[in-house]
A and B are shown apart, each in its own frame.
Chain A
Amino acid sequence: MSNSILVVGGGFSGLTAALEAAELGYEVYIVEKSPFLGGRVAQLNKYFPKLCPPSCGLEIQYQRIKKNPNVKFLTMATVDSVEGEAGNFTVKVSIAPRCTAPSSADLGELAASLESEVADEFNLGLATRKPLYMDTPFAFPNRFVLEPKKLSSADAIKVGASDACDLNEAAKEIELSVGSIVLATGWKPYDVTNLSNLGAGQITNCISNMQMERLASPNGPTDGGITRPSDGKAPEKIAFVQCAGSRDQNHLGFCSYICCMASLKQALYVREQYPDADVTIYYIDMRTPGRYDKFMRKAIADEKLHLVKGKVAGVEEDAATGDVIVEVEDAVKGHKAKIRHDMVVLATGMQPSLAGDTNPFGVELDEEGFVVDGEAKGIFSAGCAQKPLDVMRSAQSGTSAALKAIQTVRGR
């Protein structure tokens, strides 16, 4: 029997669930598959509707972790198996090697001196990075990760000479005894290459909304400058295509909740950087629930920000100029038009991370990959593992999952 709680996923819901439980005195383990905590929000430039930086809230979460011995977290860790029942789970976790020593040595210079470059998932392909890296200067834990297999032989010699790097660190397996489990496995951006009519990821200046966040971030590949990936040109005419994958039985059979607000927010990024730029959002329904209505109305008061209710039938590239041509059908009047833009942002939906992934938890998933049961077994889903939510609702969801998990282990 154990009264510890396992939280799978170190994104915003998982962090919240873990900290709320820990601050009530319960021992919590966070298992995060990436090398850093923070999840999707760490990739964002600003939150709607306040346009405040996500790192502001993350900093507080990390301070709470630092101050609270009840919270233990494992990064680069994945759950292999879960056995047992509510109150008495045995969880096997594998931990991939980080290959860097805990130390104050600043590996930044060494990293910068390496010649090897690898695809940068954190920047969604907009940049490359070194195989010795941190996602952002804000990354937590603030400790470099080394990928020995991706080093060139010259780099391997350089890195091998550093006391702070260990090329041969081995993977580990550990076993945790916990009483209940919170699944805060979050979401992933829907793969745009499935959307062949919308450029299928082939048009350079047609990017996803998450790529837009990276472009606009001060720590992103362009240091915050929103420019065309093909030629670095400042865009004068930008379009947002809503429901790119969402609300479509062939792709995601649900609405992704955040994209309308996200596009409005990103339109404001563009308008702030380029006072003369023209922004059009092509949408089916503007879904700005609750008090977000105020944000929407204030945003669209800008005469250079246009909302057009229309379905985008296709997106093409003008190879000569790099421009993107959007074919749009007016939803009400029915006529079609082709409109040229410097850049197009696809409001790509969120897919639950568990879709197409292993499910060692033994919970039932719906056809989209959302968790639909588990509570009776002592396994509670939080945040976007359960349904599409924004950050505020994810935090609420994490808080309530914490209490549910505690009710399961209390008194054991």
Chain B
Amino acid sequence: MAEKIGVYFDQSALGIIDADELSTGVSNKFGDACPVVKVFPVLAASSAREEIKKDIAEQGLDGIAICGSSPRVDWDIYEFENVIVERINLREQCAMAYKNPDGTVPAAGGTAPELLMAMAKDYVTMGIIKLQKTAVPEPPEFESVKTILVLGGGWAGLTAAKQAADYGYDVILVEKDAQLGGKALNMLKTVPLEFPYEEAHDLGLEAKIEEVTANEKIKVVLNATVEKLAGTPGQYTAQVAGQEYSVGAAVLAAGWKPMDNELLAPFGYGSIPNVVTSAEYEKLAKEGKLDAKRVAFIINTDTVTGGDIYAAPEEVEAEEAASEEEEGYVHEDLESVRHLAYSSYVNSMVALKQANYLCDAHEDGRAYVLYDSMVVPGIHERYYKTAQDRLGIMMSKAEIKGITEEDGSLVVSAGNTLMGDDVEIPVDMVVLPTGIVPATAKDPVMNFDYRQGPAFPDLDLFDGYADSNYICFPYETRRTGVYAAGCVRQPMMMDAAEEDAIGATMKAIQCIESANRGVSVHPRSGDLSYPVFNFVRCTQCKRCTEECPFGALDDDEKGTPLPNFSRCRRCGTCMGACPERVISFDNYNIDQIGSMIREIDVPDDMEEGGPRVLILACENDAYPALDMAAIRGKAWSPYVRIIPVRCLGSVNAIWVADAMSKGIDGVMLLGCKYGDDYQCHFVKGSEICNRRKDNIAETLERLGVEPDRVEQYEVAIDEYDKVPGMIDSFMDMVFEKGPNPFKGY
């Protein structure tokens, strides 16, 4: 709680705003709480900063309010030690964004209109109040276990184990089979993984396994799975083969299984001899049994993946769903023919490799590679190019019309090929592609001992892959401390799996070290604050435990939440959920934002002083979008007041009620896009906020206020040209409705 606050105005950033008038206002309102109030012509000048430092030392200031540019810019200029700094955005979101109610913009060099000064005053007051309600968080006492649990002893898992051990960590490597190696054990060679990317080569699997088994920091547990993972990152307890291990974080490299061969029946698999899968052909190659001389390698999977394989499945009947809940957790089997469609890259590469096997085995061998598209992107084009030049390998675009058996020989009927419109290719064997079905499509695998269930949430979004929905942050999921790598996350080849495993190990180590320092991981990495629960008032309503996007809260039998600080990402969704205001952060809490709202000066008469609208804006996307709108010369209504929030998930209905009882005429909630392609950095925050709207509507109706005075909008960070328009049409609605009935009370 800042008690002695220095308030500094940057006239160079304020345009026509009268900084002297604002500074007098601060002194009058706050008195001794703000012993230093100064106006500088250019606050960024080093002389000004030296003076601030002097004030801090001489006056014993513990808080600094910088009234000028947006907190998003010049952050490096306004760093001061041992004080809390609050940046009050009077440039972008006040001076630059201002327009008169009639839409005109005041002339540069003129006098600031009253409404602009009122806006600036509100922001300054709110900023100072925020400082007064902000404490510096203390990290919790916490010591991490520097051990990494690796699930899966295949290529990715072996890589992860070695990397973690090299970093100096202990490793528990759990493999469900009787030996290490995973799918690579069955492979004769790998597709080229290194420059010049032209020839298949040995895997070097034995050496890789040896590096792991010989490493004293790595404990290998075979024939085992993780039966339970309980606790919190930094201090997990993993139950493996009945034994408990303390681990800090996990790399999930549980791999994949081939798609059910029954789905390949339309190609004749199971009914025609010598129609085999690529996995079976690899085995024949490894055993030196490549007897067939003419082989068709099918890559075009339209026979089974044609049609609308991505149509949404029919909704499960409500009754069925309800009964499932009663029976406890049931893992939905997510295996489908989609996995074959998703595996086109791997299958194209494997077909090239196996076509080469055939030509290696038989000088007069004939490999027919039949594709719709050769999916060999990037550097792997070079392998394709090399194969094109090899005698004996014929490749063509082809629609597969059927595979039949005639007199002990096979015939592939194909249309629309480079060899002709309709061709019949006699072969001795047909090799079909493999669908890579991630372990997590079939089973929870992690077996989290979490209130929200044993599996990764949202697996259905990714057809069972333990993947991330973030393009920029591919290791971020809804389960802190567990990082997926290899084919359990996406179909990939061994070069990608290796890189992925190193990346996942990096994140696992980082998570353990962050927990040890008491700070959050992504996206608020380094944040020292965490939610503190005042259990005295808790009514065990379970909203926080249900809504936390990261499953950070378990609960006891009575339903009292049991927080796990290192699972937490500090979004504040729990705080937004709590009807009893039990949850707070030292530097972000119900009272802080509520007090700021209550400090907004609302004219008693809307006709005379205009309405007031509160905007609660996601600080990561909507808030920057507003800044950029202003930078691009877009202005918005002078009646709005903007408060950034960590995530819309943290918005508590009480803030809306505060605004309404204060006489504010409307509330806009600006947050990220939600749904399957969500952009919320906390996954579910904006979606949850939208779901809570019913509660808010109820609260408003109880107060006698029309519920449509509160509206949520999806605003992406680049929609800065649209935001001012959204604000203006909301204002039109407010004008149409007239004043909030509470005004003046």
Q: Which residues of A contact B (CB under 8 A)?
A: 12, 19-20, 23-25, 45, 47, 50-61, 63-64, 66-68, 101-106, 108, 137-138, 141-143, 163, 217-219, 223-224, 246-247, 253-257, 260, 283, 285-291, 293-294, 297-298, 301, 309, 331-332, 366, 370, 372, 387-389, 391-393, 395-397, 399-400, 402-404, 406-407, 410-411
Contact = CB atoms under 8 A, between A and B. Distances in A.
Contacts of B716: 52-53, 56
Q: Is the interface of B mostly helix, strand, loop or mixed?
A: loop
B712 to A, nearest CB: 18
Nearest to A397: B499
A50 B680 CA distance: 12
Given A286-B373, A403-B503, 6 more contacts: A103-B74, A106-B13, A143-B73, A287-B377, A402-B506, A411-B168
Contact of B378 (A45, A257, A294, A366): A257
Contacts of A67: 525-526
B557 to A, nearest CB: 38
B77 A289 contact: no
Q: Which 6 pairs of residues, A with B, have the shortest CB-CB distance?
A: A57-B472, A399-B503, A400-B502, A289-B345, A53-B718, A255-B381
A291 B461 CA distance: 11
Nearest to B96: A106
B379 interface: yes
Nearest to A103: B44
A293 B679 contact: no
Contact of B503 (A290, A396, A406): A396
Nearest to A382: B499
B51 interface: no
B691 interface: no
B201 to A, nearest CB: 15
Interface stretch (B22-30, B608-616, B620-628, B696-704): B620-628
B720 interface: yes
B77 A138 contact: no
Interface stretch (B55-63, B220-228, B508-516, B538-546): B508-516
A20 B506 CA distance: 8
Contacts of A47: 471
Nearest to A19: B525
Interface in B92-130: 96
A392 B492 CA distance: 13
A288 B377 CA distance: 8
B37 to A, nearest CB: 18
A387 B192 CA distance: 14
B585 interface: no
B375 A56 contact: no
B433 interface: no
B621 A104 contact: no
13 contacts: A52-B673, A56-B716, A57-B470, A105-B12, A105-B44, A137-B631, A255-B378, A291-B463, A331-B418, A391-B471, A393-B496, A400-B499, A400-B503
B167 A407 contact: yes
Contacts of B533: none
B745 interface: no
Interface in B526-540: 526
B500 A104 contact: no
Contacts of B376: 255, 285, 287
Nearest to A259: B377
Given A57-B470, A106-B13, A407-B163, A388 B397 contact: no
Contact of A285 (B73, B375, B378, B507): B375
A290 B510 contact: no
Interface string B60-96: 0000000011001111110000000000000100001
A397 B503 CA distance: 7
B502 A291 contact: no
B620 A60 contact: yes
B307 to A, nearest CB: 10
Nearest to B415: A332
